Amino acid sequence: MEDLYFPINDDLELVISCDPEPASDDFSPSCRTKSNYKDGIVLEYSYGKNHLERWREIDTTLKTMFDGFEHVANANSKGVGSAPK
């Protein structure tokens, strides 16, 4: 079984599923998130369950990082930042 978490409000579209608390210290529980990023794109990522309370910060930071990748890719496709020939 997994613990499932959903946002209280409707501003984010994501689902978080986490391992139940372990019976022993030999296992480190984790959480997996599926989060809508952009139209038709869903990010799936994992982190330690001890970071669950920071789920919103983690989600926002990852989306910001991917926005940065997109910005660089768009700039490179337009020749911005390329070396002179």
- Higher-confidence residue of 52 and 10: namely 52
Q: How much is the pLDDT for 45?
A: 97
What would the mean pLDDT of 32-41 be, rounded to a whole number?
91
- Higher-confidence residue of 85 and 19: namely 19
What is the rounded CA–CA span in Å between residue 54 and residue 57?
Answer: 5
What is the rounded CA–CA span in Å between residue 10 and residue 49?
Answer: 23
Enumerate residues 6+ apart whose C-beta is below 8 A from 45: 32, 33, 35, 58, 62
